[in-house]
Amino acid sequence: MGFKRLFGIGDPDESVEVDTQIPGPVYPGGEVKGGVFLKGGSRDMPVEGVYLRFTVRYVNYDNEEHDYQFQNASAVTYGSTLSTSFTLHKGAEERLTFSARLPWETPVSELGGRALGVVLSVKTRLRRDWNDDGTEVDNDLLHISALPLHEAVLDAFAEEGYYCDSAHVVHSYIPDTEQSHGFYESFVLTDRAPAPGRPEQLEVVFQTNVVGALIHVRRAALDVQSWDRKPPARRFPAAHHEVGQVDWHPRIRKVLEELALLDGH
C-alpha cells in the first residue's frame, strides 16, 4: 500500500512510517501471511507490540455500518530472535512478519477476479507500552478469493440461468447449524433466463468448513435481515473433493424445483 506517515503517536517528533503488506491470493480456511514495515522518526521509540485485526463490514438492522472482527494476529521481529517488543531506532527501518489461519467462514470479496462489494480490512495497531491500548496506524483492504467450491457451484447456477451479481454480509446466525461467528455471507443471484415459477433473484449462502459446505438457497429478500423472517430455504451439501468430479446440476435443479413448489403454496 506504500508507507503512511503517522502523526499523533505521542510527540510529533516520534512519528513513524508504517506499511502493512499481504501478498495474495488469500482464501477462506487458508493461512494469511504478511509483513509490517516500520521506519523510525527523529528519535528512538519503544514498541511493545504490533497487532493486526481482521474485520468484515456489515450493515445492521438500523442501516448502520459496523466492522466485525473475525481473526487477529501479532507481528514479530524478523530475524533469528522472534519478539513482539523492540525499540524502533531513530530513522531505522524494522521489518516484522505475521501469519494467521483464517476461519472457513471468512467471507470472499472476489469471485473470478471480480469484486463482489464485500469490504474486508486488516487494521494494524501499535502499542508502545502495556498501559497503552494501541493506536491504529494502518488500515488496508483485505482481498479474499473465492474457493474452487464457490466457483464451481456458482458456475453451475449460472448455467441454470442464475448469475451472481454481488454479495453482502449479514450480521445474524443460521438456526440449527454449526456457526462460529455471528455473520454469514449471502451471494445474490439474478435470473437471466426468466420463466414461470422461477424466482427472479436468489440468495445463496455457503456454510463452509474443512470438508466442504452446506449450501442454503432461497428466494431473495434483501431488505430482511433475520433468517427466520426470510422466505424458506432449501439446502444441499457439497464437498471440496467433489470439485471437477461431480455434476452439480441435478442438486441445483432439485432445489429450484422445491423453491417453485414453496412459492406455489
148-173: pLDDT as tens digits: 999 999 999 999 999 999 999 999 89
Res 61: pLDDT: 77
Average pLDDT over residues 70-75: 94
Q: pLDDT digit string (tens) for 33-60?
A: 999 999 998 888 888 889 999 999 998 8
Q: What percent of the chain has pLDDT over 90?
A: 63
Q: What are phi and psi of 13, to 5 degrees?
A: -65, -15
Q: Residue 89 carries which DSSP code?
A: -
Output 64 or 120, whichever has higher pLDDT.
Answer: 120
Asked if pLDDT for residue 70 goes beyond 70, the answer is yes
CA distance 138 to 98: 15
Q: pLDDT digit string (tens) for 251-264?
A: 999 999 999 888 75
CA distance 40 to 5: 10
Q: Rounded to a whole number, what is the distance in angstroms from the first to the last CA of the chain?
A: 53
Which residue has 474485520 as its cell numbers?
Answer: 55
pLDDT band, very low/low/confident/very high, at 224 (cuts 50, 70, 90): confident
Residue 125 C-alpha cell reads as 495497531
CA angle 150, 155, 157 (to 5 degrees): 100
Asked if pLDDT for residue 3 goes beyond 60, the answer is no
Q: What are phi and psi of 96, to 5 degrees?
A: -120, 155
Res 129: pLDDT: 72
Asked if pLDDT for residue 188 goes beyond 90, the answer is yes
Lowest mean pLDDT among 14-18, 19-23, 117-121, 151-155: 14-18
Q: How many CA atoms lie within 13 A of 96 on its CB side?
A: 29
Return the H-helix or E-strand segment holding 155. Answer: helix 148-159
Res 11: pLDDT: 53
Nearest to 212 by CA among 237, 236, 233: 237
Q: pLDDT digit string (tens) for 107-132?
A: 999 999 999 999 999 999 998 876 66
